[in-house]
Amino acid sequence: MGSCTYCTVAPLNDEIGRRAYELLKAYAKSHGLHVFDSLIAATAIAAGLTLLTLNRKHYQMIDGLEIQVPDY
């Protein structure tokens, strides 16, 4: 696996699972949020991290999630 100097790996836990479930309930039907996207968002929120993504539209509706889109 490659390394990333500005990445954090966060293991899944019960809190993240519960948050992901709540995000799915809130946004799956209305915004098409998928399971893996909900887990990624829940992990970032729980860990207090900014999510670096090229897919702003997948996450922009989620309250409390900090998103950054890279310039490359």
User: What are the residue boundaries of the structural domains of the chain, listed by start?
Assistant: 14-68
φ, ψ of residue 54 to 5 degrees: the values are -95, -5
Decide if 12 contacts 38 (C-beta within 8 A): no
Ramachandran region, residue 7 (left: φ > 0; alpha: ψ -120 to 50; beta: rest): beta
* Global confidence as pTM: 0.85
* The pLDDT of residue 4: 67
- pLDDT (tens, 9 = 90+) of the chain, 72 residues, equals 455 677 777 889 999 999 999 999 999 999 999 999 999 999 999 999 999 999 999 999 999 999 999 887
